[in-house]
Amino acid sequence: MTDSHDHTPAVVEEPIANPGLPAHTWRPTDLDEGAATRAERQVAGFFGLSMVCAVLFVVAYFTLEIGDNFDTFIGLGASTVAPGLALGGSLLFIGIGIIQWARKLMGDHEISELRHPAGSPAEDRDAAVSDIMQGIEESGIGRRPLVRNSLLGAMGMMGLPAIVLLRDLGPTNARVANAENGTGLQHTIWKKGMRVVRDVVGTPIKASELEIGDLVNAAPEAQFPTEANGYPEIEGVELQVLKAKGAIIVVKMEPEEIKPVEGRENWTVDGVICYSKICTHVGCPISLYERTTHHVLCPCHQSTFDLADGAKVIFGPAHRPLPQLPPAVDEEGYLIAQADFDEPIGASYWEREKQ
Amino acid sequence: MGCASCHGQNGEGISTIRDGYEKGPSLVGVGAAAVDFRVETGRMPLAQPGSQAPRKQPTYSDEEVAAMAAYVASLAPGPAIPTEQDYSIEGLSDDEREEAIVRGGQIFLTNCTACHNFNGGGGAMPRGGYAPSLKGVESKHIYEALLTGPQAMPNFSNGNLSPEEKRDVIAYLRSIEDTPNYGGFGMGGLGPVSEGLFAWVLGIGGLVGFAVWIAAHTTRSTKQPIEEGAEA
């Protein structure tokens, strides 16, 4: 590139002599018209292959059998492999053709560009600064502090509508927390007398029918409202929240294996013990339970809780034991809750320790 | 003969000197289903101690297993070997079968996927253990495993999952096996995790390798232009 502007190179005095560009080497296609024609045909050939692949895709899409009696291709289902290969080939051959074109036929000569200083000339900078200073002078912003301060005040107050609108994006925990209907972060739907039912099927659990080593993935009965149990219909977000907070795991072990936590001596029914299914680290549902060790493992970050020892954390990033739900048995022999959890379930949140 | 060295001559189990450790647990009350599952899948007799007894070629014939199961069942009441009626949905109408498969799927996803993966492919457990794959396991053995909870697996007794619910879980597992498999590589059936790993490492890695290969090869040669007039 010729140096037509008055910009001088960054380094004028070179410490070592400029060796210049190495001697140009030539491609066969630059020298031999026959080679160039061959390269042109290769490029066109790749584009042609791409067209063939596109047609093959359409043919494969419409002719290959799917369903019970599907065609196979190298041991795999032809209806997925063949269109995939054809579409991939179609794209690949366009790419290969373009690379071949660029490397063999497009112009091939060395260029060099010198670096120039990036800054504007001094007189341009002086002119810009004097324009700004003149603007400040003419607006009188320095001489009239009342105007300046009231402008700053107006711009600050513009933030108020934003704060008011953001506040309404969601209810705060303090506003929705209600122990009676189990809303808010520190309460769940569980309450005294609510039956413990099997998750998904919603049938109640007879405590006497459970055997040592059983693991029941259970839910509050309010999650399965029927006319018989009289719980109100619930749907949408409220149902999801109920499920997310109410899920529990019920295990039965030899009663003498359970080390009761102080103050929770009567929180088991004949070896049946219930814990929140929601990990206290970041709230994954956990039920990887080993009956031999009584450990339950969280699949997300490997927090491990010992259910025989008050769900104490024995490994992993969780900070607190799983909250325990006190069970009882109603007059028909079914498992019920004695009360809601006595602490918030799941992951930590800001105000948790202040409760 | 095959069992007594660990489980005791009367199936009472053998404890070691260390408190709480045992060479073999008591077989009193484990029931015929437990014997049938462990011996027919080759897990027992144990070839060597380890974190978990692996599935292997069974050692005993069907008659021998039946006799051992009957003996252990006589020690104390326990779960009996399920019959085909317990785990088959053959006798149901098409609608009832579909309903059973759907319900079984929901029960499976709630109770079993935590360890066995949502397609029954199995998975790793703490301290060298693993939840085995359920693919190709006989329906009877799945039912027995649910009933008796082999090794570290919790059990799903009839008071936990009713017999129909267990049957539905098996129907769901059979239905995933019947789904036409259009091929491709399962990659553990873990969904986006293993597929993403494959795409990022092998797919994009392959493309990078191809680009490096292109750039490493020049189309230039040592040929020089022939000076004009030099041609004869």
pLDDT over threshold 50, residue A2: no
Chain B residues touching residue A292 (CB < 8 angstroms): 151-152
Question: A297–B125: do the CB atoms touch at under 8 Å?
Answer: yes
Chain A residues touching residue B159 (CB < 8 angstroms): 205-206, 208-211, 214
Chain A 86-115, CB below 8 Å of chain B: which residues? 99, 103-104, 108
Question: A291–B149: do the CB atoms touch at under 8 Å?
Answer: yes
> So what's the pLDDT on residue A9?
54
Residue of A nearest to B148 (CA): A213
Which two tokens mark B43? 């897990």
**pLDDT tens, residue by residue, A145-204:** 899 999 999 999 999 999 888 887 877 777 788 888 888 888 999 999 999 999 999 999
> So what's the pLDDT on residue B183?
66
> So what's the pLDDT on residue A8?
55
**pLDDT tens, residue by residue, B140-187:** 999 999 999 898 899 999 999 999 999 999 999 999 888 766 766 777
> So what's the pLDDT on residue A341?
92
- The CA distance from A215 to A300, in Å, is 20
> So what's the pLDDT on residue B84?
85
Which two tokens mark A215? 């693991």
Q: Could you give all domains of chain B from N- to C-terminal order, each with its CATH number?
A: 1-81 (1.10.760.10), 82-179 (1.10.760.10)
**pLDDT tens, residue by residue, B73-95:** 998 888 889 888 888 888 888 89
Closest among A287, A268, A281, A279 to A325, alpha carbons compared: A268
- The CA distance from A279 to A301, in Å, is 10
Closest among A107, A295, A282, A135 to A215, alpha carbons compared: A295
